[in-house]
Amino acid sequence: MDTFPDLGSLSDQELKDLIQQLTEEEVDISYKRRILHGKIDILRAELVNRLRKKHEGGEEVITGDDVRRLTDILAGRAGEEPAS
């Protein structure tokens, strides 16, 4: 991201242009965020359906490895090597 400009050195028109530019950028980012949230919702729904089917079929839905991984994520160790 660019550094924030010296506001005192900008003309009124430059300030208006900068506001317009940043507003357009925010709208674009907001749109992309909504699209990503929609995709995440679809993926989560698919995972829930798969887990439900596994459970109905008598398969183990959550393993010890899943619990260890969740523990690592909650402890902030998600990107680290697994503990032995």
Q: What are the Cα distances from residue 50, in Å, to 10, 13, 40, 60, 65?
A: 56, 56, 15, 12, 18
The whole-number pLDDT of residue 5 equals 86
Sequential DSSP letters for 34-71: HHHHHHHHHHHHHHHHHHHHHHHTT--SS-HHHHHHHH
pLDDT at 13: 96
Q: Which pLDDT score, from 0 to 100, does residue 14 have? A: 95
Q: Give the pTM.
A: 0.56
**How does pLDDT run along the chain (84 residues), one tens digit per residue?**
568 888 999 999 999 999 999 999 999 999 999 999 999 999 989 988 888 888 888 877 777 788 888 888 888 876 666 555
